[in-house]
Each structure stands twice: as C-alpha cells, then as structure tokens.
Structure 1
Amino acid sequence: IYNRQKLSNCHLVGSRVSRMTFTRTIALLALVVLATARPQDPKDVDAQILSSSFDEDPGKSYAFGFETDNGIKQEQAAELIPGPTEEEGSQKVTGSYTFFADDGNEYTVTFTAGEDGFLAEGNHLPTPPPNPPHVDELLAQLGL
C-alpha cells in the first residue's frame, strides 16, 4: 500500500525551478525512449526531420512534436495540476506516437499519464478478456 499524497509530494516538483527541470527531463526522456525503442534500420539512419516544435510555460506546461520523412511522428503535451499547496500536485501528460513496424504496417499509440498511471491505446495493442458475469454484477452493485 502506498500513500498517493506522498508520491505527489516528490521533491522534484517542489519548486518552480525544479518543476521546469522535471518537465524538460520528462520531455527528453520521452524522445530518448522513442528513439531507442525502435530497431534502427539502415533506412532510418538518414531520416530527415520534416517538422519539430516545442512550447513551454515554465513550471506549468509544455508541448512538443516532431515528424520525420520515414513516417515517425510524436506529439506530447503536459500540464501541472496544482495541489492544495505549492509543493503538492501532479502532472498530466497526453500524447501519441506513430511508427512503421517491421511488418510494414503503420501503428499509432495514444496515451495519457497522470494520477491514474500510464494508459496507452492502439488498435494493435492487446485487450483484456471480458469480465466474468459475477464480476460485472459486483461492479454494478458498487456503482462502478
């Protein structure tokens, strides 16, 4: 069991300077993850950036996006969700990325990340099996 409030009180988001550093770090990590997650084919070595953007409101929000000539695209935006005090709060990140897999098909993943964790959606991603009837009944009784 963890205390969600303690997690949101992370010292990285304790001051405006730290928030700005945290935001930039997350943006950089997202780019690194995208760059390293895809196998590098020879055709990708010379990929040209067709468009790129980055906007930031330090300590509050950021947004970035890029597109390459080999079909890779990514867009991401984040905003700081204030808490009861300046030291508390969380960040909500939304975005999507598109890539071509080894099978030649284009895949797009949309995602959100925040207080509810990381949630990804895409037509190619696996889905869980349906709930058994007794679970659906219980959820209905609980109003969920």
Structure 2
Amino acid sequence: MLPLVLLTDTMKIIFLACLAAVAVATPQFEDRVVALLRDDRVANEDGTFSYALEADNGINTAVEGVVGSAGQINQAGSYTYTLADGTQAVVTFVANENGFQPQSSILPTPHPLPAHVFELLEIAERQRAAGIVFN
C-alpha cells in the first residue's frame, strides 16, 4: 500500500470515502444481555448426563447423554432458535457410534437423482448379480 503522502488529494478523498463506506456498511450488533430462563443440569458419576437451557431470546436446548457400547457417550437432544424471519428452527439429533445425525426442515437436502441414474443403478445391480466385475 502506498504511503498517504504519495497520494494526490483526489486519491486521498476517494480513499477516505471508501473507508467511510466500509465503516457504514459494517453490521451493527445490538448490545443486549440475554437472560437464562431455565438452566437444569445433571451430571452423574457414571458419565450419564442431561441438561436443558432456555434463554429469553428464543434459544432452547435439551440433551441427554448415556454411556455407549464402546465406552463413548451417546447423546440425543434438540435445539431451537429464532430465524431472521421470526420463525423457530428446530433441530433434533442423535450423536453416537454412527456419528452426528441431525434432523430438521432447515437442513439442506440433496437434489433428486435424474431418472436415468435409477436405470444405471438397476443395470449395475443386475451385473453384480450375474457375477460381472469391472476392475
């Protein structure tokens, strides 16, 4: 970047106008204290636990954890928060030896497969059943 001394007056004005535009465009966040309406927590010595939190800004969460088959902690629960349009987003989940598995209407879904892909999958299945192997 050039030192400000080497810039012409017009360039300085443009530079300062750009800085001002960036400062004005920066999102302004509201300084607001969020109050907890509910805070229930239980932690047992065997590793099981549960907690439920609710805040006055619409955020809610409830989770339970139990010891899994391999000694891991399996969790199940949900969380809710308010979207920009004012509706509530609810996500339920299970986290266990199969990984994190969320379910919600707000999660993206893959595009549907075209019809010809189903035909290709059927052909491949028939080839596997016939013992045809491609290397």
TM-score range, shorter chain: 0.5 to 0.7
Q: Tell whether 2:57 aligns with 1:75.
A: no
Which residue of structure 1 lines up, in the alignment, with residue 22 of structure 2?
none
CA distances 1:90-135 after superposition (whole Å, capped 9, x unpaired): 2211111111122322111111111111111111111123454244
Which residue of structure 2 lines up, in the alignment, with residue 42 of structure 1?
30
Which residue of structure 2 lines up, in the alignment, with residue 98 of structure 1?
80
Report the Cα distance in structure 2 between the residues aligned to 1:103 and 1:90, rounded to whole angstroms: 38
Report the Cα distance in structure 1 between the residues aligned to 2:29 and 2:45, rounded to whole angstroms: 36
Amino acid at match of 1:103: D
Report the Cα distance in structure 2 between the residues aligned to 1:62 and 1:123, rounded to whole angstroms: 27
Report the Cα distance in structure 2 between the residues aligned to 1:104 and 1:96, rounded to whole angstroms: 19
Shift of 1:42: 2.0
In structure 1, the gaps of 5 or more residues are: 1-39, 84-88
Q: Tell whether 2:97 aligns with 1:110.
A: no
Report % sequence identity. 27
**What is the TM-score normalised by the length of structure 2?**
0.59
Shift of 1:136: 7.2
8 A contact 2:68–2:96 mirrored in 1:
no
Report the Cα distance in structure 1 between the residues aligned to 2:96 and 2:55, rounded to whole angstroms: 28
In structure 2, the gaps of 5 or more residues are: 1-27, 130-135
Which residue of structure 2 lines up, in the alignment, with residue 126 of structure 1?
108
Q: Name the SS for the 2:63 alignment partner.
A: strand
The structure with the largest alpha-carbon Rg is 2
Q: Name the SS for the 2:111 alignment partner.
A: coil
Distance 1:41 1:52, change over 3 A: farther
Alpha-carbon RMSD = 2.7
